[in-house]
Structure 1
């Protein structure tokens, strides 16, 4: 804005309009005192000051203006109609004016001078702004340099304090700093620690890290100065980013020699132990196979002399029994014992066959249950038993072994019934996600839970662990027939199929047998692998 100072209103008006028509902002003052008050409140880039004014002439006003710190640099153009002598012009310049125009004012000359001072004002302001920006940038750079120097000092202090070899690399890969441990492995900053021929070298690790621009960790062997053996170290290179670029790399060697030696020793021992266990497993498998073959052959061969004992005992009893009642009594005991021996041998044969295994295939358990009930029709009718079955999903299993499982469980439910109470037996099946007796039901579950419930004599749950052990019996032979192998066969078959079996009961209130089997055998394999790990 321009300030025009003149005591004559017509002069103020003409100059104001001239300048405003040329797009300059103008302010006016009719006296020196008013001009000084406005200068203290406003900012002007040019003052046009009349020399001849009452009370304070233009020279006095100019001297006062240049005495203010705020306005001392504002250019002043003097206007004068009479004071054109050299001494007056000289006084005008000495009092702070920069130009002197005589009246009457030539508008074009005035506009040229005002435009020139405006451009000078603009340039001066831009120069001041540039100087301020430069000053601010210099301060920021100085602060950044101080912060960087402080960070470097802090980083170096940290690297000196750690109990490892540590150093820094510049952006181009030159070593800038190394802590005191560096000199146990290298003579100077220009020399990298030595590595064995044919193994990963330190320059290769550095080049790989710089190519990727990411943290790299290499396992290397380096040799202490004056020694012949190399020690294992982990060599880590971590970039330090600054303003979008890598400013340096922090590199650390971590000594892992002892751990490496211990690991190698452990690995060697594990390998030796693994080989020993593999050999023991092979020996055990061979021994088990031989034992199974022996049990099968022995049981099979025992049947032949046993049949002869039964046949000849029956012949003697039929031919001479009536003549010797006491002999008849002993012969009947021989026949009874031979029958029990035959049942026992048969069960042992069945138990040994389970280990030999069979082929898994899609098995309809419902059809197996119907066949078993057909075979037991006379016993079911004799006992007046009620048997209810729900649909069992299709299972991938060994059909003959599934028949043995349900044959044994159902026959036990019929056999161990309460006197005078018709057996009530139910078979319920549902799918579940877990290999668990109490797992939540799921229509698409990977396992099938089958529950067989009866209302028989039950048993004391203290003996739960005994009922699935071979040759274990909870009742005497005089009370119930059996060899004590049936539930052991059930347990072994369920284990072979990757499932589980358990029971719950109270004496006199019946029993509940629960089996959980994989629907598909790969589910069992995955579960077994997960359990092993």
Structure 2
């Protein structure tokens, strides 16, 4: 904007018109005082000022403006119709004007001067702006350098306090700083410590890493200058970044020689212990096999006299004790005790057989359960038990063992049922993606969760940790038959199948047994060719 200062409006108006016709924005003041006020509140690029004005003349206004930091650089063109002498022109330049024109003014010349002075003023302002920006940039860089120097000093102080060998290196691979421990392994602050010939590759890998981001860590052996021996170190280097650009690396060598030696000794001991364990394991396998053979032989020898006791007890009862109720009662107890002992021997043998290896194969669980229910057909009919079964997918199992699990669970559901209300057994199935009792069901899970639920007498869940332990019973043996081994057998079989078994119940509100099994086993155990049962069957 251009300011025109003249005490006569008739001089201002034509000048304003001419300037506005040429695209300039203009403003005017009719006295020196008004001009000073406007200069303080408005930015002007050129001031056209009349010299002869009442009050403050043009020279006084220019001298006053030179004291304003905001207006001192605005170009001033003086116009005068009276003061045309050299002394007045000289005073105009000395008071701060950059040109002095006498009236009448050639408008073309005036326009050229205004255009030139306006352009010079704008360039001057741009230069000032650039200068200010440069000054700020210098201050920022100076502050950043001071901050960087402070950080480097702090970093060097930290590195000196470390018990490790420490150094800093620029991205070009030149070492910038080393701490005192460096000189135990190198004579020169700019020479890398001597490394084992086999570890030169570590140095090459580190130099290649300098152009990339990410921590570098390797084991390395350095030559100890004191005894010329090699020591093991963990060489670690971390990039230092500014504005996501790596500017240097900080490296350390941590002495791990004692740990390395201890580790080597430990590895030798582990190797030796492993060899001993392998030998012991072979001995245990042999002993276990012999024990299984012994168990089957003993079972045969124990069951034979038990069968004779039961047979002769029944003969004595039928032939010689007719009418003697007391003797029959005693003999019935003896027969019952021998039957329980026979059942106990059979269950113990079943439990011991679980250590025999067998292979997994795809098993139709629904068919297996149907066969079990056929075996319990009479008991189901006698108690009028209602049974519902979901479709269960084919699962990798050891069929003979998994049959034993479901046989025990269904047998317990029947055994602990009540006449009122009507006994109900429900067998449900769903797939899940986790080996968990509580995980959500999904369509194509890796695990099958099977639930056997009844409405029988149930049990208190505080005993949950006992029911899968061998010989643990929660019910009166007189009222409910059993040896307390069935659920322990089930638990051992499910563990062997890489699954889990659990239960949920409340007293007199039934029980739910949950079995979770992998649909597909990740490996198959080889069949043991020396099954003790085969030996027992030969002995029989």
Normalized against structure 1, the TM-score is what?
0.71
Give the secondary-structure state (helix, strand or coil) at the position aligned to 2:364. Answer: strand
Q: Say if 1:50 and 1:78, in contact at 8 Å, map to a contact too.
A: yes
Name the structure 2 match of 1:265: 265
Name the structure 1 match of 2:371: 368
CA separation in 2, counterparts of 1:214 and 1:475?
69
Give the secondary-structure state (helix, strand or coil) at the position aligned to 2:199. Answer: coil
Alpha-carbon shift at residue 16 of structure 1 (Å): 2.4
Summarize the Cα distance change of 1:271–1:51 in structure 2 as closer, same or farther, 3 Å threshold: same
Name the structure 2 match of 1:120: 120
- TM-align CA RMSD: 5.1
Q: Say if 1:84 and 1:102, in contact at 8 Å, map to a contact too.
A: yes
Q: Say if 2:51 and 2:59, in contact at 8 Å, map to a contact too.
A: yes
Q: Deviations over 1:155-188 (max 9, x none)?
A: 2222222222221111211111112222222212
CA separation in 2, counterparts of 1:168 and 1:365?
72
Summarize the Cα distance change of 1:12–1:403 in structure 2 as closer, same or farther, 3 Å threshold: closer
Give the secondary-structure state (helix, strand or coil) at the position aligned to 2:79. Answer: strand
Name the structure 2 match of 1:140: 140
Summarize the Cα distance change of 1:522–1:277 in structure 2 as closer, same or farther, 3 Å threshold: farther
Q: Say if 1:365 and 1:393, in contact at 8 Å, map to a contact too.
A: no
Q: Say if 1:167 and 1:251, in contact at 8 Å, map to a contact too.
A: yes
Q: Say if 2:413 and 2:425, in contact at 8 Å, map to a contact too.
A: no
CA separation in 2, counterparts of 1:299 and 1:465?
26
Alpha-carbon shift at residue 393 of structure 1 (Å): 6.1
CA separation in 2, counterparts of 1:44 and 1:28?
11
CA separation in 2, counterparts of 1:81 and 1:410?
127
CA separation in 1, counterparts of 2:486 and 2:97?
123
Name the structure 2 match of 1:529: none
Name the structure 2 match of 1:448: 450
Summarize the Cα distance change of 1:400–1:453 in structure 2 as closer, same or farther, 3 Å threshold: farther
- Of the two, which has the highest radius of gyration? 1
Summarize the Cα distance change of 1:168–1:202 in structure 2 as closer, same or farther, 3 Å threshold: farther
Structure 2, gaps ≥5 residues long: 321-330, 525-540
Matches within 5 A, 1:403-414: none
Matches within 5 A, 1:330-409: 356=356, 361-363=363-365, 364-373=367-376, 377=378, 386-391=384-389, 394=392, 397-398=397-398, 400=400
Name the structure 2 match of 1:236: 236
Summarize the Cα distance change of 1:118–1:280 in structure 2 as closer, same or farther, 3 Å threshold: same
Q: Say if 1:372 and 1:407, in contact at 8 Å, map to a contact too.
A: no
Q: Deviations over 1:472-491 (max 9, x none)?
A: x9879xx99x9x8x654774
CA separation in 2, counterparts of 1:414 and 1:68?
109
Q: Deviations over 1:236-255 (max 9, x none)?
A: 21111223421111112222
Matched, 1:183 2:174: no
Structure with bigger RCO (C-alpha 8 Å, 6+ apart): 2
Name the structure 2 match of 1:496: 493
CA separation in 2, counterparts of 1:23 and 1:76?
19
Q: Say if 1:392 and 1:429, in contact at 8 Å, map to a contact too.
A: yes
Summarize the Cα distance change of 1:251–1:352 in structure 2 as closer, same or farther, 3 Å threshold: closer
Name the structure 2 match of 1:153: 153
CA separation in 1, counterparts of 2:54 and 2:502?
123
Summarize the Cα distance change of 1:465–1:113 in structure 2 as closer, same or farther, 3 Å threshold: closer
Q: Say if 2:467 and 2:487, in contact at 8 Å, map to a contact too.
A: no
CA separation in 2, counterparts of 1:71 and 1:265?
87
Summarize the Cα distance change of 1:367–1:149 in structure 2 as closer, same or farther, 3 Å threshold: same
Matches within 5 A, 1:206-285: 206-285=206-285
Q: Say if 1:413 and 1:425, in contact at 8 Å, map to a contact too.
A: no
Structure 1, gaps ≥5 residues long: 322-331, 527-533
Q: What number of residue pairs does the alignment pair up?
A: 491
CA separation in 2, counterparts of 1:435 and 1:246?
47
Q: Deviations over 1:38-66 (max 9, x none)?
A: 44554443333334445555445545554
CA separation in 2, counterparts of 1:502 and 1:265?
48
Q: Which moved more, 1:111-120 or 1:264-273?
A: 264-273
Q: Say if 2:167 and 2:177, in contact at 8 Å, map to a contact too.
A: yes
Q: Say if 1:518 and 1:524, in contact at 8 Å, map to a contact too.
A: no
Give the secondary-structure state (helix, strand or coil) at the position aligned to 2:195. Answer: coil
Give the secondary-structure state (helix, strand or coil) at the position aligned to 1:198. Answer: helix
Q: Say if 1:494 and 1:517, in contact at 8 Å, map to a contact too.
A: no
Q: Which moved more, 1:100-109 or 1:55-64?
A: 55-64
Q: Deviations over 1:105-125 (max 9, x none)?
A: 211122222222212212221
CA separation in 1, counterparts of 2:505 and 2:50?
121
Q: Deviations over 1:120-147 (max 9, x none)?
A: 2122212222221222221122111111
Give the secondary-structure state (helix, strand or coil) at the position aligned to 2:206. Answer: helix
Summarize the Cα distance change of 1:19–1:410 in structure 2 as closer, same or farther, 3 Å threshold: closer
Q: Deviations over 1:437-469 (max 9, x none)?
A: x8689698634344678789xxxx99x789944
Alpha-carbon shift at residue 357 of structure 1 (Å): 6.0
CA separation in 2, counterparts of 1:392 and 1:61?
106
Name the structure 2 match of 1:327: none
Q: Say if 1:491 and 1:501, in contact at 8 Å, map to a contact too.
A: no
Give the secondary-structure state (helix, strand or coil) at the position aligned to 2:152. Answer: helix
Q: Which moved more, 1:57-66 or 1:401-410?
A: 401-410
Summarize the Cα distance change of 1:275–1:2 in structure 2 as closer, same or farther, 3 Å threshold: same
CA separation in 2, counterparts of 1:230 and 1:146?
41
Q: Say if 2:29 and 2:35, in contact at 8 Å, map to a contact too.
A: yes
